[in-house]
Amino acid sequence: MMKRIRIDKKLVVVMLFTLVFGTIQAQQTEDERPNIIWLVSEDNSPFLGCYGDTYANTPHLDALAAEGILFEYAFANAPVCAPSRSTLITGVYAATMGTENMRSQYVVPDFIRLFPEYLRKAGYYTVNKSKTDYNMSPVEQRMEDAWDESSLQATYKNRKPGQPFFAMYNSSITHESRIHTRTEPLQHNPKEAPIPPYHPRTPEMEQDWAQYYDRVTQMDSWVGDILDELEKEGLAENTIVFYFSDHGGVLGRSKRFLYESGLHVPLIIRVPKKFAYLVDEKIEKQNNHMVSFIDFAPTVLRLAGVPVPSYMQGRGFLEKTSGRPETPAYGFRGRMDAGIDLSRTVREGKYRYIRNYMPHKIYGQYIEYLWNAPSMPSWEKAYHNGQLNAVQSAYWKSKPFEELYDCETDPHNINNLAGNTAYTDVLEEMRTMLDNWQIASNDVGFIPEPMMEMISKTTSIYEWARSDQYPLKKILETASLAASGNSKGLTTLIERLQDGNAIVRYWAAMGCRIRGEDAKAATFLLQKIVRHDKEASVRNIAAEALFYLGEKQLAMDILREGVLSPDLMVRVQALNTLQYLGAEAQHILPLVRHIVEMDPKRNGYDISAAKGFIRVAERKEY
């Protein structure tokens, strides 16, 4: 017969209390994870009072900086929104994914996710209000997985009681489009605008700068409203606040360019006292630690206690670092709207190094959207009227292969030290740093975009570039040799015009184009390429090289084929070249004008490039 078990009632009560209290305690631990909010403005460098700008009027951001951490050296990895945000939202360089060209929408591998998805899976309520611009495909499912809400009405207030949230609020108040029209009386005096030395002080330039600073003040009020709301909701002591811009800007030679003016951004982070333990106590209120957007996703995940996926290329910058060295800030420039170009940069310490792989192209390529700012045509007109000094004129001329700047003594990056023998060691160190990063990150930006367009129809560029079809070291060697303009390299370039890899052939032909008449020994092989090469992008650049070798009719025949191609990026490439030929391509003008007139409301990059060619060919630009 079984014995009856005596139940100690006091023990049961203790056990139940322990179970319930333990559950509540665990729930409290989970719910006391920090809320995190990103306040993201557009197109602005550190034009804030807290960064020492005396022309600025930014009381709310100045107050936020006084309460938080101001980062002196924060950088976007791309100087334009879509590639920059592509890096920011994934923790992977756009130059690694194939998303560095503006609004290209190429396929990205499924395993690369939008980082808020990991927060959401960990119990966070995720909100995006409301810009996306992630520059990748497919994005719809990624969006659904990443955000609980993504719209102009999105709000963290819809979360469950006690649920932590991550919210990304975006403001377009300072976007470049806000200086395209004159709508309100100016609050800042144009005559007092701190115009940089590379800009002429035209009335339009003064107005654009003053109007832009007005927008920065309005953006500051937007920040203040959101911070006030956090206070009223009783959330300020539970919320880590980030404020930053999506890249530098906004006037010509800032946004879209790899200078401090295009990449240096404001970054202020306020961490409430209760979460101070999450941050390295060595981080100072005014911090000179170098960070870039590649680090933002892992930083947020670590603050939330969420594991960082191994494919992410950055690392957290707020937690204890154990004395590890900071990561240099790398940057990339690909196609900007319809303007084809390719440059890379690294900022390490006080130096910025830039390598231009298409130095024959002028800085000031015509980009239709950029020219909507009244300051741009005024700057261009002043140049053609001979009214500029050497620094202001440089924008309208071709680029050097290499640029090196001391950003402490030369914050505007106007004194190129690359040719100064006193900086030989620095130059070599920066070269090596950039080379190593390009290899380590598997930089895919050297694939001609017409090829990218074709690759993306069947697979991701990320995955394709990890095959033997993308011999990166050989491609980088060819591209650097091409861009250097070194006359001794022509023999190697001629050999590589016959290479079995189309990307190598492309850069070898680019080298011939850059050398102009000095590449005469390559004429026969270039003629062979334009007649027989299977890759349209290779034929187009070979045709451009032949034009400058006197084979103008043959070159025009190939470029005409490019203009009529069914492939968008082949058309853009051909039309981009025609902009440089201008009046010498008059006989193609009726065809290009007809293409624009057939569908005048369409806003494709091919149409934009076509308008650029018409503008030059008709000589109506001044």
Annotated catalytic sites, by residue? 81
Residue pointed to by tokens 């292969």: 401
Residue 600 burial class via C-beta count within 10 angstroms: exposed 0-12, middle 13-18, buried 19 and up: exposed
Structure tokens at 248: 């530098």
Helix H or strand E encompassing 432 = helix 424-440
Between the alpha carbon of residue 82 and those of residues 88, 153, 238, 383, 598, the distances in Å are 10, 22, 31, 31, 29
289, 113 contact by CB (below 8 A): no
**Beta strands 329-333 and 343-348, pairing class:** antiparallel
Between the alpha carbon of residue 176 and those of residues 151, 275, 388, the distances in Å are 22, 36, 24
514, 360 contact by CB (below 8 A): yes
Q: State yes or no: cis peptide before 130, omega within 30 of 0.
A: yes
Give the full edge-to-edge strand order of the sheet including 402-406: 329-333, 343-348, 351-356, 402-406
Helix H or strand E encompassing 269 = strand 264-270
Residue pointed to by tokens 């100016």: 186
Pick left, alpha or beta for residue 252 (phi over 0 → left; psi -120 to 50 → alpha; otherwise beta).
Answer: beta
Please tell me whether residue 387 adopts helix, strand or coil conformation.
Answer: coil
Q: In sequence order, what are the residues at sequence separation of 6 or more whose Cβ sits closer than 8 angstroms to the Cβ of residue 161?
A: none
CA distance 208 to 310: 44
